[in-house]
Chain A
């Protein structure tokens, strides 16, 4: 405050000293000088009143310069869209317990309470070894199938367009342990099937995410010679958030013709809701697939939406933090 006040005083007291008419050069100089002082003073005052903003702007500029690559988060709410895996994986040290449950067919009629009397389910554990690698295992009541999988994030979408999609790879092995009295030749090899998937997803905006999943299935044993042991499919999935905690999901798995010939295999089509409640993700849906692991639901879907072979079901997942986080 001190210096500025003295300057004002000096400017005022010195003004009458040299009359302007004596020397026009001095006059001009003085006007310039006064203008300079006024300018400087107003700058200083402005500077003071905007000081808080300046300080904040300085911080923001510095922050912008330092901000590292930001990844897109929350492409899907859960590790599954419905039956299909999503690109999401549990974080490091998180154990996810997941129950997938499908009731019977809706067209079973009122006697079976539209399928509610019957059920198949898969109980599974998924563990995040790192933020990018998950190991999982599960057991389905459908054909008493055990399964295990590895899921790895390969790419993650960035907020800038540098990486436009997230990519996760999934390899699954499924083992059917159901005893068949009429098939004594069923050994471990025949009972084992494999699925390999590339999950490619993009969060289009904060509400809409889409996923493309090229899939290769390998069956060690197929029902008939005409059936292919290697089956290729394309899975499509998406979710649209309707509130901050709920979304509508849709999933369609396109099975090209001439791969499964001995019976009519339908394309697996499912739709439902995701509802998130604290530590749970609750998914309710309707689907024409009874199985819940890729070799079963992708190319062994016998239910037809047109005929009403629709299974009502849900997935519930619960997260437990078991690993130590720094």
Chain B
């Protein structure tokens, strides 16, 4: 039985134990004159039986699937006399032969034998797993079936299990964070063993092409990330210069001036900009905006690069406009009307009220929104991958091509890679930096709101 069939069988078993448990409790109750004599409703007996069947069997399946490959591998390799060949390579060959894929080579007899053994071990493992999992599930439900009685408090048990399952689901968020931190930190530590931290953080040279063979020339590899940080900052800065004024003014107009009708139509349209996938923006930036900037720049006498930071930054700015505007809209709306009325009553015009009363009152919220937008811009990937360059240049000229942290992560990890080279590990170090920066910005944004917000009501 393969794994997907096993899962189907397990589901059938769960359903069966639910029905059996319910029927059992009903029949017990009938003898005594009705369901009301039961401690818990028949439904709970069924669910409890199903749970006792599901939880152990699913856990066992998971554990089995996690470890069976390694055990089979060890068993197969134990039979083969050690040779100079790489273990992983050998295992690959064996798996290929077992799958009937000879790659045009006549396999050695010992490999053929190993492949046979591999196949038989795999089927044995599958069989044992099916038997063990189904057996454990049945045992679990039989255990409950035995204890079902009129006084059996199934409901309390089910409610407790329900609560624990809910708790486990909400802890997944913590697990994810831990997973991110662990995966990024571990690989980064390995990277920092090869390249010192200060060289990574303060070095001015970035050329991650390391030598594949030790005798190769020219591929020394330099991992100074300052040009990447500078490029990221440059592009994000351009994006913020576009997004902050436009987004803020749009929010002000929508919340202070616009009629209700105008708002209901225009606000969702602006928010459409946030729903467009970033790969679409990237395509737009690379194929429409960048050539336009190049041509205009050439006419004006500059010589912009065809992958200028300006193109990526402008399009990213457009992407962030709705982010800034909807966050500011919320805070501006939260400023109490009495403040505006007071100011208007003193004779201020509407724009004076907005500039001198509403905006100062909403400032903490707006600042935190801008910080969140900045963290969005720094972490944005697809636009820069498609529209910004690959050359790590240290420049402040928006018409030149720069590269960013996210672009480098993608280029380092997409395509052929060996997992131990500093080149691949550098991507994780960059990821760690990115994670730290965005987390920091997020934290500051929350602090700003907490610290400076005034309670008006």
Decide if A and B are genuine partners. no
